[in-house]
Structure 1
């Protein structure tokens, strides 16, 4: 059985300082439970990963992540396969892992109470080489926009992604994919042109973009979603449907459920949990039950 001690890992810069504010709010609640609680802040992703590795090596019962999906992504690189449980204090801009699990996203104290109640759930993770992700790997138009935005120096914030989207819409063209699928109902290579391809362990990323609607993070399978080529106007009309999950009714929508998939396409750099993973081709496989997490 894991111990009752808790390490609260804080990203002080997430959500424009929301991580630090949430940590100050929840720390007394956690300490009042009578458990041994230690709060630590990572200076950057590498420092945060080193902290999590030390937490796992020490046999700490619960790592409480106070930040956004980026910090969760960093933490699971060391938590995967360990006995240390993940607790969530959402304080980012997207919080898609918390959204997927039903952890309160706007009430840090309610999230702390979920952690203290100690209801454990085993989740699958997706793995690309030695890198794990929790939610979605984007490998289509959305990933291309992300790559362009990250290369821009101006403007800052969301406006940069809006400009990157407009720039990519101007040169929008179908992407030629080869998918090598290994699943219970489909196996072999598929060659297809598409606007969007995504591999989901969970249903959403990017603050509720439900591209892999219906994906379950504990079914031992990944969802591969393909959306057929669209023109600019059709993509603009369809994009809001991705936040509702209603794009599943689009005639160009295809879904495959697999244990493993290799995604290949020229010139595309994939992103998972919002983090840059690398250029295609990439092979993604499911790691069943690799993460222990505290849920409502």
Structure 2
């Protein structure tokens, strides 16, 4: 006799544009694959991220589903976090995007829809922290990182372009932005202690990586009740070009201009900056963020039996 699934009613949100369209092609079979495991699947997708989020939040709030599954990259994980955080409904992530930092931090399968479906059908959950921004409206939560510096400005520039695709667009935006970027005056307050600085980057991290694998805060944990707050203080352009590539390996943390602070509550004050979170445009600065321990239940691989 087949064992009953842990979660019978599943809401599914698919991002067909993630990873230059390959996620859409791979995710076209997700509904039927989940159904073969005995799950009843409701498609909550929409032509817009806002529409999909509204569908997902409605289904979660009204008790229409037992589990929300999102398919795509960090943007879709961000949507799922904002539908499920602070509720009893767990989140399943099928990581098929260009950037999959939240999924990587959770040890989930990457670009493997079959393994993801099997994991979801297994129903093993883990409680992790999430960040919440005061006054965040319908999208106050983030699962991985919030950032408000050179990286956010680069993201904004890249989002204005339709070409090139994927990581190449971000890399080109870095090259275009660097000659005109100036360090930003910040006040960064962590658990009541204020730090005034001029910085290239300020990152409030719940996870170790961002930007498709850059190990920006390599010791950050998603279940320790703390943010890792990285500040890269003013450096010249040549030095910035020397330091920035080290982020991919996490070796930048030894640079004298890098500080990493830890705390549960962070306030960022600056002028003219819009933050990004999990790769998505987020909220204008100034803002206040806090860690909410165990705010989110996620489907993860079952622990190995030893």
Same fold (TM over 0.5): yes
How far apart, CA to CA, are the structure 1 residues paired with 2:179 and 2:119? 46
Instruction: Return 139-148 or 109-118, whichever deviates more.
Output: 139-148
The alpha-carbon deviation at position 155 of structure 1 amounts to 4.4
Structural RMSD (CA): 1.9
User: What is the SS of the residue equivalent to 1:8?
Assistant: strand
5+ long unaligned stretches in structure 1: none
The structure 2 residue matched to 1:144, chosen from 138, 145, 153, is: 153
The structure 2 residue matched to 1:49, chosen from 42, 53, 62, is: 53
The alpha-carbon deviation at position 147 of structure 1 amounts to 2.4
Q: Name the counterpart of 2:10.
A: 6
1:88 touches 1:98 (CA, 8 Å); kept in 2? yes
> Following superposition of structure 1 onto structure 2, how do residues 25-64 of structure 1 map, counting pairs within 5 Å?
25-56=29-60, 57-64=62-69
The alpha-carbon deviation at position 272 of structure 1 amounts to 0.7
2:13 touches 2:44 (CA, 8 Å); kept in 1? yes
User: Taking structure 2 as the reference length, what is the TM-score of the superposition?
Assistant: 0.88
Cα 1:167/1:17, change in 2 over 3 Å: closer
Cα 1:264/1:219, change in 2 over 3 Å: same
The structure 2 residue matched to 1:271, chosen from 272, 276, 283, is: 276
The alpha-carbon deviation at position 19 of structure 1 amounts to 2.7
Q: Name the counterpart of 2:81.
A: 76
5+ long unaligned stretches in structure 2: 1-5, 302-306
The alpha-carbon deviation at position 3 of structure 1 amounts to 4.1
User: What is the SS of the residue equivalent to 2:28?
Assistant: helix
The alpha-carbon deviation at position 94 of structure 1 amounts to 0.3
2:9 touches 2:64 (CA, 8 Å); kept in 1? no
User: What is the SS of the residue equivalent to 1:93?
Assistant: coil
Q: How many residues align structurally?
A: 290
The CA deviation string for residues 199-257 of structure 1, in whole angstroms up to 9 with x for no partner, is 00111222112212211111111111111222222222222211111111222221111
The alpha-carbon deviation at position 34 of structure 1 amounts to 1.8
Task: Please tell me whether residue 165 in structure 1 is matched to residue 174 in structure 2.
Answer: yes
Cα 1:108/1:139, change in 2 over 3 Å: same
